Amino acid sequence: MEITVKRSAQVVGFLLVSAAATQALYTVLYLAAPDIVRLPIWSAEAVIFVLLAAFVTSPLVHSRRLTIGWGAILAASVLNVVQVGVGLTMFYPFIDAAKEQEALAPVAGAIVAFSFFVYNAAKTLIALAAVIFGLEKLRAARSGQGTAKALGGVAALVGVVAIFANAASMAMGRDVFGELPLAGGTGVLATLLLALCVSGAVETRD
């Protein structure tokens, strides 16, 4: 089967939707049942982001106007693999060790903080891509394509909010917004809107 640039972009869109779904599920479980084991979700995300990093390279190298957007998706995918890897390999061993020896508690806390820092960095990049692809959708929409224009506008707007929310979380810590999951929530929404914009991006002859 030939994997064309257009098909690669469609796969990228599908993988972004999958990532948004798993992260939304993770957020719901984190708020509703903080102690539940989330390893299966992290494992699924690891596979999704590895594949995303691979498939996004095709439209990236063929792009003219959207290079930064495709590049942001690639960088975010790599950062998410790192973040998920930290969760899968380091969270539970260090948290369990910290329960046994209080001296290790700061180390466990630092690992969790680093993981969230990387998560917010990745979401900032995804939000940047949402702004770029949203504005492109807005620009490319013809007269009468109100739905496409609305999608592009909303994606760009949500992307801007997500950039500031996740950048603030990176700079001031994940508790900057208190119990309000503004950074994660807007980041997941930006991911979903980006997926809807990305799937048809190649059709605009980028």
Q: What percent of the chain has pLDDT over 70?
A: 92
User: Percentage of residues in the chain with pLDDT exceeding 90?
Assistant: 51
What backbone phi and psi angles, to 5 degrees, belong to 205? 60, 45
Query: What's the pLDDT score for residue 121?
Result: 96
| Range 110-130 average pLDDT | 93
Contact 187, 166 (CB under 8 A): yes
Query: What tens digit of pLDDT does each residue of 136-188 get?
Result: 988 877 655 678 889 999 999 999 999 999 999 998 887 777 767 788 889 99
Name every residue whose Cβ is closer than 8 Å to that of residue 79 and which is 6 or more positions away in sequence.
Answer: 118, 121, 122, 125
Does 50 score more than 90 pLDDT? yes
Q: What ranges make up the beta strands (E) of 61-205?
A: none
Distance of alpha carbon 75 from alpha carbon 77, whole angstroms: 5
Instruction: Give the model's confidence band at 206: pLDDT under 50 very low, under 70 low, under 90 confident, else very high.
Output: very low
Which of 14-18, 51-55, 107-111 shows the lowest mean pLDDT across its residues?
107-111
Other CB atoms closer than 10 Å to residue 193's CB: what's the count?
27
What pLDDT is stored for residue 1 in this prediction? 62
Residue 127 has pLDDT above 90, yes or no: yes
Output the pLDDT for position 101. 82
Report residue 204's pLDDT band, with 50, 70 and 90 as the boundaries.
very low
pLDDT at 120 > cutoff 60: yes
- Listed residue (123, 107, 40) closest to 75, CA to CA: 123
Three-point CA angle 26, 32, 35, nearest 5°: 75
Given a cut of 60, whether residue 67 has pLDDT beyond it is: yes
Residue 162 · residue 137 · CB < 8 Å: no
Query: What pLDDT is stored for residue 184 in this prediction?
Result: 82
Taking 70 as the threshold, does the pLDDT of residue 54 lie above it?
yes
d(CA 98, CA 100): 5
Which of 70, 111, 110 lies closest to 87 in space, CA to CA? 111
More confident residue, 189 or 112: 189
Question: Is residue 25 classed as helix, strand or coil in its secondary structure?
Answer: helix
For residues 76-103, average pLDDT: 87
Q: Say what the pLDDT of residue 144 is.
A: 56
pTM: 0.89
